Amino acid sequence: MVSTGDFNVAHREIDLANPKQNVKNAGFTPEERAWMDEFLSDGWVDTFRLFMKEDGYYTWWTYRFNARAKNIGWRIDYFIVSEDLAPRVKRSWILSEVYGSDHAPIGLELEV
């Protein structure tokens, strides 16, 4: 099974540019992050983190302060797959060069 969309939660500190300043802000509260931990521990896998362990990769930027150009963003959009489907994930990526929204599209490639 695949679930995708804007979850509005930056799960880990590496999922946003300024974690210390945002710990009490919606989308990065301890309660929201704990919910994401629980959700993933119930048999789900964050496909992007199968391949990319580093920070600096985001899917959303505020329109203010030229944040996108400075890459001061949040990774809040996900492709989540069931654990049984995870071995078939070939690639999961962010199309950060695609504009038209405050979010970047994300991609997922599965083995047939």
Q: What's the CATH number where 86 sits?
A: 3.60.10.10
* Known catalytic residue at 84: no
Name the residue among 26, 23, 2, 11 with its Cα closest to residue 58. Answer: 11
Burial group, residue 64, by CB count within 10 angstroms (0-12, 13-18, 19+): exposed
pLDDT band at 2 (very low <50, low <70, confident <90, very high): very high
Let me know: does 107 contact 66? Beta carbons within 8 Å.
Answer: no
Residue with tokens 């919910």: 35
Let me know: does 107 contact 95? Beta carbons within 8 Å. yes
Query: What is the pLDDT of the chain when averaged over all its residues?
Result: 97
**Token pair of 109 as six digits:** 């490639």
- Among residues 6, 37, 84, 102, the one annotated as catalytic is 6
- Per residue in 84-104, pLDDT (tens digit) is 999 999 999 999 999 999 999
pLDDT at 90: 98
Q: How many structural domains comprise the chain?
A: 1
| pTM assigned to the model | 0.95
Domain extent at residue 39: 2-110
Q: Which amino acid is at 68?
A: R
Range 30-52 average pLDDT: 98
